[in-house]
Structure 1
C-alpha cells in the first residue's frame, strides 16, 4: 500500500507540476494578501474620514455651547453687578433687612434681564446668610443647592458655577454665582441662582429630526454624568456615558463616539455615528476585490500551465537523450527550436552537447594514458633505491675502516649511519614523535660529526633531568637549534666555543619540560633578537638561505603545530631567545608532559 502511494506520488511530483503548483499558490497568496491589505486600508480610511468629520462637527457644536454658556454668564454678571442688587445686599450685610416693596422691585429687574435670553426660566437672589430675597418666600439656599456647590461658588469668588440638572426641577439646568459687594472690598454679599431650560442647549435640530435615519446622535451631560440633552432615550444615553473609548455599543449596534469637554462647565458633549453608515461603500469594494482575485487566479492558472509546459518539454527531451546515452553510448541532443525554448534551455542543451564531445575525446585520451602510465610505473619500480642499500654501504665502509684500524673514521661512519637511519630509517605517522632520549642521542651523533670538522674549537655537553628521558617530543626539533648554535655561535667566535643541551622540568609551569640550547658565541643585541623573532613568525616554511633564521622559523612553526594552546600546555608552543652581546645565546622552548600514559607514538 505504501509502495503504491509512493509510486503515485513520484508520478505527479514532476518539475512541470511543481512549477504549476508553486506559481499558482504564490499568485493566489499575493492576490489574497493584496486584497486583504487594500480592504483594510480603505476601511480604515473611511473610518478615519468619518471620525474627522464628526470631530469637526463636535468642535462646531462645542463652540455653539460655549456661546450659549457665555450668554448666561454675561446676564448673571449683570444681575450681580446691578446697582439696585448691590444696594439691597449691602443693606442686608449692614443689618438692615429689605422691606416688601424693595423685594418686590426685584421682579421688574429680573424680568428685564430674562427678556434678553429665552433660555432663562427664572432668577433667584439670596443673602450671604442664605435667605432668599427673590422670589418672595422664605426658602433657604441650602435647601435648593447642595452645600458643596455653595462652597464652590465661594471659592470661585464671583465666577459662575454650573451645578447641572436641578434636582427640584429636572427640566432645568442650575447655575450659581456669588455676588461680591463692590463697596465692601468685593466681600461676599449674597448669591444669584439661574435656572435655564434644558431645551436651551439643543444644538442639533436637524439630527433630532432625522438623526435615527442617518445614524447620527448628540449627547450632552453635566459633570455628574447626568444627561442634559440627548437625541437618544435616557437608558441608551446612560449606557453611552458608562462606556469609554472611540467605539460604543447601543442596543447591540456599534457607534463611533467623539467626545468634547467644556473647560467652562466641565460638561461633556458626545457625538455618535453608526459605524455601518460610515462603511457603506466597503461592501462594494469587497465584491470588487473578490472578483479581481478570481479573475487574476484563473488567468495565472492558464499562464503558469503554459509556462511550465514550455520550460519542461525541452528538459524532458534532454533527459530521454541522456538516458539513451547511458545505455548505448554518448550521443548529442538535437537543439530545440529557438522560438519555443528559452535562452537558458538552449544553453543547457549546447552545454550537454559540448560535454558529450569532450567526454568522447577524454575517453580516447584516458585509454592512451593508461597504457603509457603502466609502462612508466614499471620503469619507476626498477629505478627505486631501497634506503637499506645506503645503510649497508656505510656498514661496509665501517668494517673496512675497522680492518685498517682507522677507529676515528670508523666512529664517524657509525655516527653518520645512525644519523641517516634516524632521519630516513622509518616512514609514516609513527615517526613523527620520539622520546627525549632518542632525540638527544641523535643530537649527540650530530655533535660527534661536527667535532671531527671543528676539532678542538668545539666542546659540548648534553644533560637531561632523570625521569624526562621517555617524555614524547616531535622528531628533529633540537638538532636544528644545535646546528644554529654551532653556525652562529662557535664558528662566529675567535677561539674555542661550547654548546650545552639541557632538558629539565619547568619550575614556572608544572607539567612541562624545558629544552634549552646554549652557546658562548658573540651573542646579539635586543633589536637583532626582536628582528629574528619577527622573521621567524612571518617566514614561510623551508624558505630562505643559510643564516637567515630558517631553522628558527621551522622549529617555531612545528612547535605551534604540535603544541596548540590548551590548558595542559599553556606555555608550550613558542620559542624563547635570550642573548647578551659578547656572552652568548640561549634558545629554549617548553614541551608538555602527558599525565598517565605517554603520548601514542
Structure 2
C-alpha cells in the first residue's frame, strides 16, 4: 500500500488524470450496476411471484375440472339404470340377455360421454371382465383393465386417479349396489374414464408453449406432458428442492422452476421456463449497458488523454525550457529557452507561459542592471581608494601646521590643530558602529575646543557623566551633531554667553543622554522642520532625522530621540538607547 501511495504521488499529472477518469468511470459503473442489479432483483422477484401466482391459479383451474370429472364418475356409478342393468347382468344366465343388457349399458354410457368436454372415453368393466365402452375417442388399453379394477376395488367406491403414461389420465370408481331393492353396497363392476388432461391444461393454463412447460406428476409417474423438459433424475432432484421457486441448472439447461403441491390430489404442479428465453430481454439490456459503458469509458479516456495532454504538454515544454536556463543558456534566453507560445491560449497554462516569459525578460533586465551596478561599484571602489590619498595629505599638512605652531610657541593654534586632526580622523573612520561613550565625548571635546577658539568665553560647556558610564556603547557621532546644533541655533544668534551641557544617566537598563542649552529656543514652525529632517547641521551635515533613523536601525523602533524646546527658555534633546557596556558584546544582546 505504501508503494502504491508513493507511486501515485510521484506519477505525472497526465497519468493521475487518466487514473482518475478510470476510477470515476468504474465507480459510476459500479453504482449503476448495483442499482440496475437491485432493479432487476425486484423485477425477478415480482416475476417469480407472478409466475407462482399464475401456477396456483392454473392448478386450481385444472383441479376444478378434475373435481367435475370426479362428480361425473359419481353420477355415472350411482345412475339407477346402470345399477339395474349391472344387477340384472350379474344374475342373468342367458347369453342373449346379457348381450342386450351390455348394449343398454353402452347406450347409457354414450349418453353420459357425449355431454362431457374433457372425456376421451368411458369404460364399464363388469364382474365377468367384459368391457363396455362409449366415446369416439381413444379408449383405454386392454392391459389396464385389470389394474383399474383392482385400483377401484382398493378405493372401495371412492374415486381413484391413475396415470397411465403418455399423457393418459384415468379416473376409476367401483359400482356399489345401493338400489332400494338391493342396498348391499356390493361391487357390481368398475367405471373407468379416460380424461383429456392435455385439453384441460390448454384451456386452464396461460403459460405454455415457448413461454414454458407445465409438468404434472404424482411423484412416481408423469401425468402431463408426454415429453417433459427434465429427465427422470432431474425431475426427482427438482421435486426434492424446498424452495417454491428458483433457478436451477440441469442437463437440459438452466430453467426457472416454480412448483406447487395440490392438497386435493397430492400431485405436484411444476412450471419450467428456459432461463435464457425468460430473461432474454434482461440479458440484452445488460449487454447493451455493458457495451455503452465500455464505449463511454473509451470516449472518456480519449477526451481525458487529449485534455491531459493539452495541460501537461505545455508544462513539460516549460520544464525543458527551465532546464535549459538552469544550464546557463542565457544568451538566447527569450528566443530558444521559451519556445513558441500561442497567443490565442487564454487558459491557466497559457497565462503561466506568458507570466514565465515576462519573468525571464525581467531576469534579463535585472542581470543587466546587476552588471551595470557591479561596474559602478568597482568604479566607486577605485575612486574611494584614490580618495584615501586626500585625507593623508590633509593629516600630514595639519601635522606640519601643528609642528610649526609649537615651534613658534603658539599653544592655542597647536591645540586647535590637534583637535581638528582628531575630529577629522574620527569623522572619516567608519570601522566601528558602536563606540564607548568616552570616545564620543573625546570627539565632542575636540569639536568644542575648535569652537572655543571662535566664541571664547561665550561658549560654556559642561559635562555631567558619571565615570561608570564612560564604557557605555553608543552609536558614533550621536552627541557631536547635537552639540553642533546647539552652537548653531543657541549660541550664534545671541551675544550673551550660552551654556551647553551633556548629561548621562542609567535607569532600568536604559541609557538616557541629554544635550541641553539655555539659548533662545526654537520657534514651533522651525521645530517641525527639524523633526522632519528638512534642516541639517553645519560641519558633518548630519541632521536630527538622520540620527533618529540610525538609532532605529541599530536598536529598533522603541528607542530613539526626542527634542523639547520653547521659545526663550532653551532647548533639550533626549536620547534613549539600551544600556550596553563595552564587555557585553554586540548590541543585540542588550536590545533583546
* TM-score, reference length from structure 1: 0.42
* TM-score, reference length from structure 2: 0.42
